[in-house]
């Protein structure tokens, strides 16, 4: 396929929005003499804790680090099972395996593409210790049902809220219900620090994660700095190094403050897609469930394959002919090489994964939304 002449520059499926506030705060941090986890990381934690209304928050180097710490803090280890969707990024199942436990994949709901509570209940065994929900694309999972399910069976509830930093279901904020919730500030996420993550939730668990995430040392370098020798510490448990540097937190503080505005901008783009793409043949638009205030990290469509069209051929035409980038969320984890031996079959996950395409949907888009709509009309009509 050849590119159209005079085409505007390639439109990536995602691009961060960084403003002068972030730049200024980073500059101040660089000049402050304190670069690693310190006052800015502590401020970022306080901002997130207060905004979510949870007991505590710990700023870390990635969402994957937060997942690892959540499992360790929850005492998940060999012999334990953690129920998780397969229609997710590999980070959560990978960390389950890393702590020596077994991921158990349950199927998703065909409408929300979130973990299905009924399939989750069926997957509970005597070895289950936790349920890990993931808020697909920014639509909160049915947290009230999952909370009850976890409580009824004495399980921990973890929220992988990497996609849902500013989303609610029935007025309840995603990330505020689980025993622990994790957030991602990876480069393509709702808000970004390049790399970074946050762990939030129950005070006792976050405190344990904080200890484990700074080598098992009983105080931070910032706390010891200026008050006692930085070498005067005790290691009470062999931990890891997962702290967020202040340079990163300087970006995060301002990005988090922009969540309402960013989400509004994403919602406007989603509304334009909802209106202008409705009725295109073989195209299924995302459904927002009743009571949901969607975070709109993704605008995930499903494309029915036909004899002369597949999801992959649509993605290729958008990219090669129209210069529009898309992404796919996700390859089902149970089909990846490290997981195939589990040998499970998840019909709803597999159906969705063969059809799903994520359209560009982010605040830095301007008139680009019209370009995406026009391209899809050309490709699908």
Ligand X SMILES: Cc1ncc(COP(=O)(O)O)c(C=O)c1O
H-helix or E-strand containing 149?
A: helix 143-152
- Count of helices and strands (H, E) across the chain: 13, 13
By CB under 6 A, residue 160 contacts ligand X: yes
Instruction: Tell me the closest approach of the beta carbon of residue 234 to ligand X, in angstroms.
Output: 29
Query: Which residue stretch of 143-151, 155-163, 171-179, 232-240 sits at the interface with ligand X (rule: CB under 6 A)?
Result: 155-163
By CB under 6 A, residue 88 contacts ligand X: yes
Q: Report the residue number, 162 or 317, with the smaller CB distance to ligand X.
A: 162
Spatial distance between the Cα atoms of 294 and 274, rounded to a whole number of angstroms: 14
Instruction: Tell me the closest approach of the beta carbon of residue 199 to ligand X, in angstroms.
Output: 11
Q: Which of 40, 148, 189, 241 is catalytic?
A: 189
**Strand-pair category, 172-173 with 168-169:** antiparallel
Q: Which of 64, 243, 248, 263 binds ligand X (CB under 6 A)?
A: 64
**Please, which of residues 104-143 interact with ligand X by CB under 6 A?**
134
Closest CA to 143 of 108, 111, 110, 168: 168
Give phi and psi for 348, each to the nearest 5: -70, -45
Q: For the window 163-202, what string marks contact with ligand X as x by the rule CB under 6 A? A: x--------------------x-x----------x-----
Q: Which of 41, 63, 73, 115 binds ligand X (CB under 6 A)?
A: 63
| Contact predicate 303/285, CB 8 Å | no
| Contact predicate 273/361, CB 8 Å | yes
Which CA distances in Å does 181 have to 57, 202, 205? Answer: 9, 9, 11
Instruction: Tell me the closest approach of the beta carbon of residue 92 to ligand X, in angstroms.
Output: 6
- The site for ligand X (CB under 6 A) is made up of 62-64, 88-89, 91-92, 134, 160, 162-163, 184, 186, 197
Active site residues: 189
């Amino acid at each position: 396929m050849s590119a159209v002449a005079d085409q505007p520059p390639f439109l990536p499926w995602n691009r961060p929005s960084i403003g002068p506030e972030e730049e200024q705060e980073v500059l101040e941090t660089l000049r402050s003499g304190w670069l690693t986890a310190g006052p800015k990381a502590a401020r970022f934690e306080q901002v997130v804790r207060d905004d979510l209304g949870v007991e505590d928050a710990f700023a870390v180097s990635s969402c994957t680090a937060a997942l690892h710490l959540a499992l360790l803090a929850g005492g998940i280890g060999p012999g334990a099972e953690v129920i998780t969707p397969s229609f997710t990024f590999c980070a959560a199942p990978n960390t389950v395996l890393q702590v020596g436990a077994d991921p158990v994949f349950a199927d998703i709901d065909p409408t929300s593409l979130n973990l299905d509570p009924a399939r989750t209940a069926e997957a509970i065994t005597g070895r289950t210790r936790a349920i890990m929900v993931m808020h697909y694309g920014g639509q909160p999972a049915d947290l009230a049902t999952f909370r009850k399910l976890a409580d009824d069976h004495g399980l921990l509830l973890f929220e992988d809220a990497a996609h849902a930093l500013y989303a609610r279901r029935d007025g309840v904020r995603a990330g505020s219900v689980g025993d622990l919730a994790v957030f991602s500030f990876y480069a393509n996420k709702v808000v970004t620090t390049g790399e970074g993550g946050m762990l939030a939730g129950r005070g006792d668990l976050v405190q344990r994660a904080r200890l484990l995430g700074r080598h098992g040392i009983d105080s931070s370098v910032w706390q010891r700095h200026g008050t006692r020798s930085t070498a005067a510490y005790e290691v009470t448990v062999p931990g890891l190094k997962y702290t967020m540097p202040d340079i990163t937190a300087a970006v995060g503080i301002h990005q988090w403050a922009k969540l309402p505005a960013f989400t509004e901008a994403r919602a406007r783009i989603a509304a334009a897609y909802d209106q202008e793409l409705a009725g295109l043949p073989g195209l299924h638009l995302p459904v927002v469930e009743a009571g949901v205030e969607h975070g709109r990290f993704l605008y995930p469509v499903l494309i029915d394959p036909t004899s002369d069209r597949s999801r992959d051929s649509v993605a290729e035409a958008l990219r090669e002919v129209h210069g529009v980038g898309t992404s796919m969320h996700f390859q089902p984890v149970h089909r990846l090489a490290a997981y195939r031996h589990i040998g499970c079959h998840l019909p709803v996950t597999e159906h969705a994964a063969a059809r799903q395409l994520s359209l560009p949907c982010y605040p830095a888009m301007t008139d680009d939304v019209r370009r995406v709509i026009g391209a899809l009309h050309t490709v699908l009509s």
